[in-house]
Structure 1
Amino acid sequence: MTIGVDLGGTNIRAGVVQAGEVHTLRRHILKRKDSLTDTLAQLIDLIRPLCQYPVEGIGIGVPSVVDVQNGVVYQVANIPSWEEVPLKDILEKELNLPIWINNDVNCFILGEHQHGLAQNTTSALGLCIGTGLGCGLILNGTLYTGTNCGAGEIGMLSYLDQTLEYYCSGDFFTGRHATTALETFELATLGDRQALALWAAFGRHLAEAIKVILYAYDPEIIVMGGSISKAFSFFEPSMRAQLSDFSYRETLRRIRILPTENENSGVIGAAALGTLSVPRFS
């Protein structure tokens, strides 16, 4: 029994995980993100009630690069006060339990690999699409992070006049079209033609990111998470049409691209961090 924590730039979720099942899930909206003291206090207040259970430790997924060995997180996305935080040391002193920390999307694909759609695969990629675009990798059956938990971050690659993340995340709606993904989703469910066309354009851009993934990693499956993955049915047709010119037809025939079936995969994967020996370049 372990506590898993999914720390995002907007929300924090934590739960007790046993055999891939989440119990006693708690959620907070992250407040006062400009204050390290306040955000740490809120995180601790969220986790502490869960420590009453006979848990072995706490795993935390954070949207940043991470020194996994020392538990230091750097430049946390959308939390400006978290520039360099020795999170492992802080939480172990406060909660008196072992703490394991990794990138949040790494936790997502780890949860999918152990208990979700990527089970029984040796190569899988998690693609979390929300405020940003994040990637996590399972290679040769094992979570692969790179030296700084930055492996697989294709969203930072240049694309058109911006980056892939700009065109394949919430930025596409807020920055490019003065709307939001949620508003566009709600309009699309009502059959609004302009909203449906916007999702079709999004799918075409996302296909270009997926081509990069296929050329670089050639995984068995791509599992999509994040809030925008809930609109999969709106962007899937244009995404697959845009993929049709991919050079290797057998790769397209075999690849599975699916939205997650479990919104708690990040919490489940975070809880599993203590069982890992993560390979890294020396």
Structure 2
Amino acid sequence: MPPDQLDSLVAVLDMVRFGEARTRPELSRRAGLGRTVITQRLGQLIGSGLLEEGQLGRSTGGRAPRELRFRAEAGAVLVAELGATGLSAGLTDLAGNLLVHRDATWDIAAGPEATLSLVEELFDALLADGHPSPVWGIGVGVPGPVEFASGRPVAPPIMPGWDGYPVRDRLAARYDVPVWVDNEVNTMALGEVRAGLARDVADMIYVKIGTGIGAGLVSGGRLHRGAQGCAGDIGHVALVSSVPGAADVVCRCGNVGCLEALAGGAALARDATVAAGEGRSPVLAQRLEQGPLQALDVVTAAEFGDPVAVELLQRAGRLVGETLAALVNFYNPAMVLLGGGVGASGDLLLASIRHAVYRRSLPLATRDLQIARSPLSGRAGLLGAAFMVVDELLSRERLGRWIGHGTPAGRPTLAAG
């Protein structure tokens, strides 16, 4: 397909898909394309099943035009979000609507073979429910750095055995569709900016505080992955020079004094266990008798006023907030969203983070800054994984390679470039 034809085809599709134009006259006016070109491109898109003409729109003096609609039901996307202590799988339409999903408790340290076997089991169960649309692609988020071009994790600190594992290749061979893999925080950020509180926010930072800590960056409305795909890995910012005793805390990445090792969910659980063992917190000591402490136990204890738990959360919030303040000064986002099992729970952590960011950032950078908890809870990553796949499939780089065949299914190499 000639480049100019492909450009106009994608432009027309995107305008209808994102609701920027709903009729032929609107398309012509907004895209700056002639009536003949609009008719030709719509013919291609309607013929491929991506668009359809529906009811009559409002008349502006002549014959009422037919409204155009993106056919989100034309295909489906399998999505998975892998966390340190659990995973989720789902099925969406092409508009990112989550149709069905399943969750499972899981330890990512079990390795890629066992983990992806469970993902495939969940995918198969979702497909067995009989959704009528064919699967067009798969999107996966994992809790570690990913080389986006190859779909392979690279030296992920909390994922032993995953370094260089061909996640994309395995799932593509199993389901015969294109597969994209990204850091789960990136998919969460994309889910929020397209379907959450950050919708229509051009510059945003999404911070996940769970077992570890990571950030997803959105700049100019687009996800910023960086040159290799590891932008936003704030969990391994070194705090050795600013936090007493940080040099004695070894992170899972092998370095010392990382933000994650001092303020992440695993750090909260570790420090709470020490406090309970030393008798400084009867509440946590009582909970410890029932089994190993988790970060959410600290959140719960703090909500009931336990001084040790309150101190631990305030300290974690201060360290996260001071780290974010550097990003806020450097990047000047309009919004910071907190997610993850720890980040999205309780007001104390949120208040501590806000206080540190506002105290350490420039007044202009925080004048209109919003800092809030994610409203999408655990679904942001699944939605973002779906948007990632659909955006790639309908991009200028890929649409022309499959639209003539009617479907990207059966063309797993589309994801390779």
TM beyond 0.5: yes
Q: Distance in 2 between matches of 1:32 and 1:205?
A: 26
Match of 2:351 in 1: 237
Q: Which amino acid aligns with 2:270?
A: G
Match of 1:42 in 2: 118
- Judging changes above 3 Å, is the alpha-carbon distance between structure 1 residues 244 and 119 closer, same or farther for their aligned structure 2 residues? closer
Q: Compute the TM-score of the two structures, normalised by the length of structure 2.
A: 0.62
Q: Which amino acid aligns with 1:198?
A: L
Match of 1:82 in 2: 162
Name the structure where helix makes up a greater proportion of residues. Answer: 2
Q: Distance in 2 between matches of 1:9 and 1:236?
A: 22
Q: Deviations over 1:205-227 (max 9, x none)?
A: 22112112212211111111100
Q: Does 1:13 align with 2:88?
A: yes
Aligned residue runs from structure 1 range 28-67, under 5 A: 28-30=104-106, 33-51=109-127, 52-53=130-131, 54=133, 55-67=135-147
Match of 1:270 in 2: 385
More divergent stretch after superposition (137-146 vs 32-41) = 32-41
Aligned residue runs from structure 1 range 1-282, under 5 A: 1-18=76-93, 19-30=95-106, 33-51=109-127, 52-53=130-131, 54=133, 55-159=135-239, 160=243, 161=246, 162-178=257-273, 180-263=294-377, 264-274=379-389, 275-276=391-392
Corresponding residue pairs, total: 278
Deviation, 1:228, is 0.5
- Judging changes above 3 Å, is the alpha-carbon distance between structure 1 residues 170 and 33 closer, same or farther for their aligned structure 2 residues? closer
More divergent stretch after superposition (223-232 vs 98-107) = 223-232
- Percent same amino acid at aligned positions? 28
CA contact (8 A) 1:105 1:135 kept: yes
Deviation, 1:153, is 1.3
CA contact (8 A) 1:5 1:271 kept: no
Q: Distance in 2 between matches of 1:200 and 1:35?
A: 34
* RMSD over aligned Cα atoms: 2.1
Structure 2: stretches of 5+ with no match in the other structure = 1-75, 247-256, 274-292, 397-417
Q: Distance in 2 between matches of 1:38 and 1:89?
A: 16
Q: Distance in 1 between matches of 2:350 and 2:117?
A: 41
Larger Rg: 2
Q: Which amino acid aligns with 1:186?
A: T
Q: Compute the TM-score of the two structures, normalised by the length of structure 1.
A: 0.90
Match of 2:249 in 1: none
CA contact (8 A) 2:210 2:264 kept: yes
- Judging changes above 3 Å, is the alpha-carbon distance between structure 1 residues 42 and 203 closer, same or farther for their aligned structure 2 residues? same
Deviation, 1:110, is 0.2
Q: Distance in 2 between matches of 1:170 and 1:80?
A: 18
| Structure 1 runs (4+) greater than 3 angstroms displaced | 31-36
SS of 1:235's partner is: helix
Q: Deviations over 1:216-265 (max 9, x none)?
A: 21111111110012334012333333334335212222111111011201
